[in-house]
Amino acid sequence: MTTQINTDICVIGGGSGGLSVAAGASQMGAKTVLVEGGKMGGDCLNYGCVPSKALIAAAKKAASLKDASDFGVTGPAPVVDFQKVMDHVQEVIGSIAPHDSVERFEGLGVEVIQGYGRFISEKELEVGDTRVKARRFVIATGSSATAPPIPGLEEAGYLTNETIFGNRTRPDHIIIIGGGPIGLEMAQAHVRLGSKVTVLEAFKAFGRDDPELSAIVLKTLHKEGVEIREGVKISEVKKGIDGTYHISLGEGVSAETLTGSHLLVAAGRKANVEGLNLEAAGVEYSPKGVNVDARLRSTNKKIYAIGDVAGSYQFTHIAGYHAGIFIRNALFRLPAKVDYSAVPWVTFTDPELANVGLTEATAREQHGDKIKVLTFPFADIDRARTERQTDGMIKVITTNNGRILGAGVVGPHAGELIHPWGIAIAEKLKIGAMASFIAPYPTYGEISKRVAGSYYTPSLFSTRTRAIVKFLSLFG
């Protein structure tokens, strides 16, 4: 027998964006249904942000013991129990899971349906024997890992971000296909935990980041033992009877074969639209995701898409941002639109790499030579010296009249240091606002004030300024 549910809001997907919508809408008085066929919390909690950062934290502990002698502290070399490391990862997931659980959301008044939904009309979704008719739908199904079309790859099998955190055996040699943020985060974590690591990248590692900043991270990774090979062509992947992977590179006289114990593919993601039967709902989509307007509405104006499946930035914080845009549109009838001018992103390597707004390259594309590029090194920050964390720099891009367009930080706590620059860009502040605040000493945050102050250095210490000071001294 089919069960019919009529509701105000139907959320499809229990990841970060979907859960934010469901919690907000229900607590604001809208009757809300949440449909989730997999794990509550989605990719971020179970396979992405949370487990990866937990693994990175364990690896950082191991690395900190290795360089403790620089501080006059010595002791035995770290012993890594990989199974206990992965226990730590699962414990962290478990500690956060109740916040994203079915029970919590039912307690908030959300009706949770566990199953995969498919549209049967422009206004109705079918989940097993249940049909949901809603005034507004929001598709928040996220994305999943995809693999490049390499001969033999599918037959050999491989790890992705969805399976690597279930691996309980430390890799002797892990080969990672993909030199983007996920691949390089996992590369550093594993090399610090005692694995040999080789990264294979078809183009440039950190290809979307500022090359001047990313070069500092890559130098550290090389120093720690990560082999990064750029511009490589993988011709074939085979798996031996002993379980090892054989990766064939190049052709002809330059051909070679790499052998590894584990293979991780971190070379792209695809929007999760399969099985939704979007055609029945009048929703247009592409391999990148659902086609949406600036208000996140699909071609069916009663159906929205948020997060990775909306085809823009694939970050958890963007999914949360999208949730707010949807709430304002669907519940309050406000024509809220997305604004990506101040989107931050962070790669959690050590040192961290963070950006917000325009990079130097994109700023030059949009503004030509009418920009100023300000830089300041961590080596000139006293707090960085006390902790021997001097590798890195901050880079800020402004217009010639000082309006802040973008900022990038590579160094300790870069993900935290980027925050005020995001506010500055969103509020269209000029560099003087960052130069005039009082920074506590000694902190890493001083670097923001110091780089902002450098905007005024040429004029403050110019011949004209010296002449003015000399003239004013004539008056006593």
Instruction: Please tell me the class of the 3-40+101-145+270-330 domain.
Output: alpha beta
Q: Does residue 152 have a known ligand-binding role?
A: no
Contact 171, 262 (CB under 8 A): yes
CA distance 156 to 153: 5
CA distance 133 to 280: 14
Q: Does residue 128 have a known ligand-binding role?
A: no
Q: Does residue 221 have a known ligand-binding role?
A: no
Q: Does residue 260 have a known ligand-binding role?
A: no
CA distance 6 to 392: 55
What pLDDT was estimated at residue 469?
Answer: 85
What pLDDT was estimated at residue 286?
Answer: 93
Paired tokens of 424: 């500055």
At the fourth CATH level, which superfamily is domain 153-268? FAD/NAD(P)-binding domain (3.50.50.60)
Q: Does residue 235 have a known ligand-binding role?
A: no
Q: Does residue 17 have a known ligand-binding role?
A: no
Q: Does residue 180 have a known ligand-binding role?
A: yes
Q: Does residue 243 have a known ligand-binding role?
A: no
CA distance 470 to 475: 10
Q: Where are the domains of the chain?
A: 3-40+101-145+270-330, 153-268, 344-460
Q: Does residue 287 have a known ligand-binding role?
A: no
Check residue 433 and give left, alpha or beta (phi > 0: left; psi -120 to 50: alpha): alpha
Q: Does residue 377 have a known ligand-binding role?
A: no
Q: Does residue 183 have a known ligand-binding role?
A: yes
- Is the sign of the CA dihedral 167, 172, 175, 180 positive or negative? positive
What pLDDT was estimated at residue 254?
Answer: 77
Q: Does residue 411 have a known ligand-binding role?
A: no
Nearest C-alpha neighbor of 119 from the set 283, 297, 305? 283
Which element (helix H / strand E) includes 317? helix 316-330
Looking at 284-374, list the stretches that DSSP marks H as alpha helix, in order from N- to C-terminal side.
316-330, 360-367
What pLDDT was estimated at residue 476?
Answer: 77
**153-268 against 344-460: fold identical:** no
Q: Does residue 178 have a known ligand-binding role?
A: yes
What pLDDT was estimated at residue 12?
Answer: 98
Tens place of pLDDT per residue across the chain (476 aa): 789 999 999 999 999 999 999 999 999 999 999 999 999 999 999 999 999 999 999 999 999 988 888 898 888 888 999 999 999 999 999 999 999 999 999 999 999 999 999 999 999 999 999 999 999 999 999 999 999 999 999 999 999 999 999 999 999 999 999 999 999 999 999 999 999 999 999 999 999 999 999 999 999 999 999 999 999 999 999 999 999 999 999 877 678 999 999 999 999 999 999 999 999 999 999 989 999 999 999 999 999 999 999 999 999 999 999 999 999 999 999 999 999 999 999 999 999 999 999 999 999 999 999 999 999 999 999 999 999 999 999 999 999 999 999 999 999 999 999 999 999 999 999 999 999 999 999 999 999 999 999 999 888 788 888 888 888 888 87
Q: Does residue 142 have a known ligand-binding role?
A: yes
The CATH architecture annotation of domain 344-460 reads 2-Layer Sandwich (3.30)
Query: Who's near 474: CB < 8 A, 6+ residues apart?
Result: none
What pLDDT was estimated at residue 76?
Answer: 83
- The Cβ of residue 70 has, within 10 Å, a number of other Cβ atoms equal to 8
Q: What is the pTM of this model?
A: 0.94
End-to-end, the C-alpha distance of the chain in Å comes to 96
What residues pair up with 143 in beta bridges, in sequence order? 271
